[in-house]
Chain A
Amino acid sequence: MKLLFEKSVPGRRGVKLPDLDVPRVEPNEAWGAELVRSEPPDLPELSEVETVRHFTELSRRNYGVDNGFYPLGSCTMKYNPKINEEAVSQYGFAGLHPLLDDELAQGCLEVIHKLEKWLCEIAGMKRATLQPAAGAHGELTGNMLIKAYHRAKGNLHKKKMLIPDSAHGTNPASAALCGFEVVELPSDERGNVDMARFREALGEDVAGIMLTNPSTLGLFEENILEIAERLHEVDALLYYDGANLNAVMGYCRPGDMGFDVMHFNLHKTFSTPHGGGGPGSGPVAVNEKLEPFLPVPVVEEDGGRYRLDYDRPQSIGRIMPFHGNFGVMLKAFVYIFMLGGEGLKRVSEDAVLNANYLMARLKERYRVAYDRVCMHEFVVSNTDKAEKGAPTLAIAKRLLDYGIHPPTVYFPLIVKEALMIEPTETETKETLDRFVEVMFRIADEIENSPELLQEAPVNTPVRKLDEVRASRRPVFRYRKG
């Protein structure tokens, strides 16, 4: 399909601005010619209707949760309720400038304050900042808080951050960006942290650990209480990667497991859409130990009025210029307001039920990496299929032909030929059964008509794309001619 630039016709206009009601001042009059650009940026020129058709056609070449099943592990692709979207588009929030006086933005501040309280209630934490723009940004913030804590105690020798090998790539990247030395911990045969290696790694120089629980293998860390106790003995802190919180709401709280600091992914657990890549929101909650270091400002309430408090002498400072992705927070606020504690517990129950059901049924034809009760997701290892010429990538591409978005592929890195499946609680039993049926069909195809997998996908707007070419001879922008 054509690009905007290839549809452009010189002189064509989309929208009209009002006529200027003040004297016109051209840049070269106001600034002098040497400050004015020599050539205007070559933006496309289209009418409104062409623009609308262009993006409508593009949308038809995209696949979202509203199109169908999207069991992308670790990403919690649950349904995004439409009332969330109504909340941001139809009520009086969009016009508010982030630097308005507190008095003029009481509604926004109340949303931030209430959401903070609710998140702390769900996770068993004391306070939170809602500034981080996504999970990774929350991780970076959390690492900064851990660093500030050790600094305040004069423990400058605490330089190591322990991270299991099953962790998401953002964990080590965030710790490194914060100046920590990353120590990778292996996992044992049950998918837990290898305790012998953990004890070996533990010493006075350890600043903390970053754990995902349930882990990215979809498994609950069975030794969590011992891990927490041991780390606290050397005054190291525990960071909870909350990407998988959807599994345990109402069943256990990171605060009670011994975590000192954590992030939430509002764009996973709390139903805000992923926007084809973002925006998300990654609030960070802490216990008493880290509360003094939270970023400024925090929202305080006095008798039903809300204000931004900057007077926090031990704060690490700002981590966003403004208040973070407020529009995303508002959607999560609506979601929690609607579900309440009881509804959230039901979310986790059905998320775990759906994952276990799917795992039990798929096990007939696919090898599960860890044969344990799983939480909200599980990982299949396709080494057997890969030997027959159908690696995980081929299975994923074939799923596209059946109109299903493939699960996460090749992650976690410690599982060979990994296919990581997270159905979420919003899917029906029929959807899960159809997925099983399709997966079994693909298993048959691998035996009987392997060419179908080599050809896949055939039902998508483009066939298999050449990623090697894109990295050898990348083209980052359109150029005329």
Chain B
Amino acid sequence: MLYNPHTDEERREMLEVLGVSSVSELFKDIPAEIEAPRIDIPGPRSELEVREELKRLQAANEGEGLPLFLGAGAYNHYVPAAVSHLVMRSEFYTAYTPYQPETSQGMLQAIFEYQTMMCELTGLDVSNASLYDGGTAVYEAAIMAMRATKLRNRVLVDEGVNPLYRSVLRTYSGNLELEFVEVPHREGRTDFEAFRRLMDSDTAAVVVQNPNFFGVVQDFSALAEAIHELKGLMVMAVNPVAAAVLKSAGEQGADIAVGEGQPLGSPLFFGGPYVGFLTARQKLVRQMPGRIISETVDREGKRGFVMTLQTREQHIRRAKATSNICTNQGLVALTACVYLALVGKEGLREVAVQNLSKAEYAKKRLSAVEGVRVKWDAPTFNEFVLELPSDAGRVAKELVREHGIVAGLPLGGYYDGMERDLLVCVTETNTAAQIDAYAEALGRVL
């Protein structure tokens, strides 16, 4: 049946070797009183029926293919054709974690290359082999900072950090001796004064995001200095595309950089699979979560790659491990590696500049609409906040319904008093014509 290859004859032969007459005898250790009822799921069915079902489901996804001005942690970028072609080579995607390095050199070398690229993007020394996503990476970085500062237990988190990431952090920290203090933003920017007031010798880390959730880019060097004076750490969540041009996390004094790697070649896919990256200064490497790949040599002196510093990990350290992560997002890290190889040094810079240029163009076009303005005069990357004359949720709904445009993220549900504000994202995939059409439609619905 389907993927089970045995014929009835073969099953009989195998049972004979076992000296039993039916396969159900092999399940005799299961107590009779908990014997399962029949699983009530129809089937087996053929591939043709699967395809029909998928067509039906696809048709129900009315949002597919609409002009998209929505980001907020998941970004619609151009993905070169070769990316999926290479990632879909089944020697990669049907392998397990590279426990046997001699037969896993392909994946190990690719992840070593990925680690190198992540270090380059963030300006830090060491990268791990991936975490689940950008949000859980922020959490891992926060508890890594706690360990690295000998269990200081206060973490100050900027409200400019993605509110969805912060809600994940809140869920997790509720179970640990971790005091998690959110520092309100000030006109879309970090309130450095408030940070200075709240930082103390119990503060393990300050956590900031750059560009922040509102798209604003900032220099955190002074904050880094201040927290370092107190022997705490700075964790910075970064956008890997902006990192091509923005002063790097390392240059700004961050000790740990994390982020969402989805913009590097992965489609939106309704939220996943994505990939969390985490890089840090060399001296923190033993506190890092997850797999780390190192170069080494084989017995003939030939270069090769292996997983290393495994005594940090759950399979050895168990309850004392730096993290519980086992399966990570290896294939998505490979995707980022292939993407970065294809766009290259110049190409990633060009993607970043196009994002910036188009967002600036959209700012001008949209704020020219009567009653609409760009909320804060701050430098931004590919997102910005637009203030509307009426409820942003209602306007966004109308723009989708009447004009088929996904206008952005209404911020009312995320920040107090921002009911009229819309977070707009523009990438290289949005054309000038789309932006013009958006401006025109906005004028009509207001």
Q: How far is the CA of A104 from the CA of B341 in the complex (A)?
A: 34
User: Is A196 part of the binding interface, using a Cβ–Cβ cutoff of 8 Å?
Assistant: no
Cβ–Cβ contact B39 & A373, under 8 A: no
* Minimum CB–CB distance for A265 against chain B, Å: 8
Contact of B345 among A41, A87, A100, A429 (CB under 8 A): A41
Which residues of A have CB within 8 Å of B317? 169, 173
With A56-B89, A252-B35, A319-B168 already in contact, the answer to whether A182 and B115 are too (CB < 8 A) is: no
Cβ–Cβ contact A342 & B44, under 8 A: yes
* Minimum CB–CB distance for B160 against chain A, Å: 15
What is the 8 Å Cβ interface bit string for chain B, positions 2-24, against chain A (1 contact, 0 not)? 11111000110111011000011
Contact of B348 among A41, A349, A427 (CB under 8 A): A41
User: Is B195 part of the binding interface, using a Cβ–Cβ cutoff of 8 Å?
Assistant: no
What is the 8 Å Cβ interface bit string for chain A, positions 326-350, against chain B (1 contact, 0 not)? 1110000010111111111111011
Which residues of B have CB within 8 Å of A426? 3-5
Residue of A nearest to B305 (CB): A465
Which residues of B have CB within 8 Å of A75? 96
Which residues of B have CB within 8 Å of A172? 314, 318-319
What is the 8 Å Cβ interface bit string for chain B, positions 312-329, against chain A (1 contact, 0 not)? 011111111101111111
Residue of A nearest to B117 (CB): A43
Contact of B91 among A32, A66, A124, A222 (CB under 8 A): A66
* Minimum CB–CB distance for B293 against chain A, Å: 7
Which residues of B have CB within 8 Å of A14? 80, 82, 341-344, 347
Q: How far is the CA of A169 from the CA of B315 in the complex (A)?
A: 4
Cβ–Cβ contact B57 & A343, under 8 A: no
Q: How far is the CA of A88 from the CA of B271 in the complex (A)?
A: 13
Which residues of B have CB within 8 Å of A126? none
Within 8 A of A (CB), among B339-361: 340-354, 356-358, 360-361
User: Is B58 part of the binding interface, using a Cβ–Cβ cutoff of 8 Å?
Assistant: yes
User: Is A101 part of the binding interface, using a Cβ–Cβ cutoff of 8 Å?
Assistant: yes
* Minimum CB–CB distance for A429 against chain B, Å: 5
Cβ–Cβ contact B26 & A93, under 8 A: no
Q: How far is the CA of A55 from the CA of B411 in the complex (A)?
A: 42
Which residues of A have CB within 8 Å of B54? 87, 91, 334
User: Is B402 part of the binding interface, using a Cβ–Cβ cutoff of 8 Å?
Assistant: no
- Most chain B beta-carbon neighbours within 10 Å: one of A56, A133, A357, A397: A133
What is the 8 Å Cβ interface bit string for chain B, positions 361-379, against chain A (1 contact, 0 not)? 1000000000000000001
What is the 8 Å Cβ interface bit string for chain A, positions 1-38, against chain B (1 contact, 0 not)? 10111000001111101101111111100111011111
With A338-B43, A343-B43 already in contact, the answer to whether A99 and B431 are too (CB < 8 A) is: no
Cβ–Cβ contact A99 & B72, under 8 A: yes
User: Is A314 part of the binding interface, using a Cβ–Cβ cutoff of 8 Å?
Assistant: no
Which residues of A have CB within 8 Å of B349? 40
Which residues of B have CB within 8 Å of A280? 327
Q: How far is the CA of A463 from the CA of B100 in the complex (A)?
A: 11
Cβ–Cβ contact B4 & A346, under 8 A: yes
What is the number of residues of chain B that contact chain A, defined by CB distance less than 8 Å?
A: 210
Cβ–Cβ contact B96 & A72, under 8 A: yes
Residue of A nearest to B221 (CB): A34
User: Is B390 part of the binding interface, using a Cβ–Cβ cutoff of 8 Å?
Assistant: no
Which residues of A have CB within 8 Å of B316? 169
What is the 8 Å Cβ interface bit string for chain A, positions 423-465, against chain B (1 contact, 0 not)? 0011111000000000000000000000000000100111111
User: Is A217 part of the binding interface, using a Cβ–Cβ cutoff of 8 Å?
Assistant: no
* Minimum CB–CB distance for B2 against chain A, Å: 6
* Minimum CB–CB distance for A54 against chain B, Å: 7
With A64-B95, A467-B306 already in contact, the answer to whether A279 and B273 are too (CB < 8 A) is: yes
Q: How far is the CA of A411 from the CA of B97 in the complex (A)?
A: 15
Contact of A349 among B23, B251, B409 (CB under 8 A): B23
Within 8 A of B (CB), among A390-426: 396-397, 400, 405-406, 408-409, 411, 425-426
Residue of A nearest to B122 (CB): A41
User: Is A92 part of the binding interface, using a Cβ–Cβ cutoff of 8 Å?
Assistant: yes
User: Is B226 part of the binding interface, using a Cβ–Cβ cutoff of 8 Å?
Assistant: no
Which residues of B have CB within 8 Å of A324? 271-272
- Most chain B beta-carbon neighbours within 10 Å: one of A224, A346, A463, A470: A470
User: Is A158 part of the binding interface, using a Cβ–Cβ cutoff of 8 Å?
Assistant: no
Q: How far is the CA of A397 from the CA of B328 in the complex (A)?
A: 25
Which residues of B have CB within 8 Å of A94? 267-269
Residue of B nearest to A176 (CB): B319
Residue of B nearest to A411 (CB): B315
User: Is A466 part of the binding interface, using a Cβ–Cβ cutoff of 8 Å?
Assistant: yes
What is the 8 Å Cβ interface bit string for chain B, positions 282-312, against chain A (1 contact, 0 not)? 0001000001111111111011111011110
User: Is B181 part of the binding interface, using a Cβ–Cβ cutoff of 8 Å?
Assistant: no
User: Is B136 part of the binding interface, using a Cβ–Cβ cutoff of 8 Å?
Assistant: yes
Cβ–Cβ contact A104 & B95, under 8 A: no
Q: How far is the CA of A357 from the CA of B162 in the complex (A)?
A: 53
User: Is B193 part of the binding interface, using a Cβ–Cβ cutoff of 8 Å?
Assistant: no
Q: How far is the CA of A122 from the CA of B43 in the complex (A)?
A: 14
Which residues of A have CB within 8 Å of B295? 470, 475, 478
With A43-B345, A96-B268, A477-B126 already in contact, the answer to whether A463 and B102 are too (CB < 8 A) is: yes
Cβ–Cβ contact A461 & B105, under 8 A: yes
Residue of A nearest to B340 (CB): A43
Contact of A43 among B120, B132, B305 (CB under 8 A): B120
Cβ–Cβ contact B270 & A295, under 8 A: no
Contact of A25 among B6, B293, B338, B360 (CB under 8 A): B360
User: Is B439 part of the binding interface, using a Cβ–Cβ cutoff of 8 Å?
Assistant: no
Which residues of B have CB within 8 Å of A366? none
Which residues of A have CB within 8 Å of B171? 144, 295, 316-319
Which residues of B have CB within 8 Å of A69? none
User: Is A46 part of the binding interface, using a Cβ–Cβ cutoff of 8 Å?
Assistant: yes
Cβ–Cβ contact A253 & B34, under 8 A: yes
Cβ–Cβ contact A251 & B30, under 8 A: yes
Which residues of A have CB within 8 Å of B302? 462-463
* Minimum CB–CB distance for A246 against chain B, Å: 12
Within 8 A of A (CB), among B74-124: 74, 76, 78, 80, 82, 84-86, 88-107, 109-113, 115-117, 119-121, 123
* Minimum CB–CB distance for B42 against chain A, Å: 5
Contact of A66 among B43, B94, B318, B331 (CB under 8 A): B94
Which residues of B have CB within 8 Å of A343? 1-2, 43-44
* Minimum CB–CB distance for A228 against chain B, Å: 10
With A275-B331, A429-B6 already in contact, the answer to whether A100 and B63 are too (CB < 8 A) is: yes
User: Is A474 part of the binding interface, using a Cβ–Cβ cutoff of 8 Å?
Assistant: yes
- Most chain A beta-carbon neighbours within 10 Å: one of B31, B218, B310: B31
Cβ–Cβ contact B93 & A275, under 8 A: yes
Q: How far is the CA of A32 from the CA of B218 in the complex (A)?
A: 11
Q: Which 7 A-B pairs have the closest CB atoms?
A: A340-B43, A277-B330, A322-B271, A341-B39, A104-B63, A275-B331, A64-B94
Q: A61-B109, A321-B135 are in contact. List 9 more A-B contacts (CB 8 A).
A: A5-B116, A70-B96, A93-B61, A140-B324, A250-B39, A251-B27, A252-B30, A277-B95, A476-B125
Would you mind naming 15 contact pairs between A and B with Cβ atoms under 8 Å apart? A4-B337, A31-B379, A48-B82, A48-B342, A62-B92, A96-B61, A101-B400, A104-B400, A252-B30, A278-B273, A278-B329, A320-B271, A338-B49, A426-B5, A467-B306
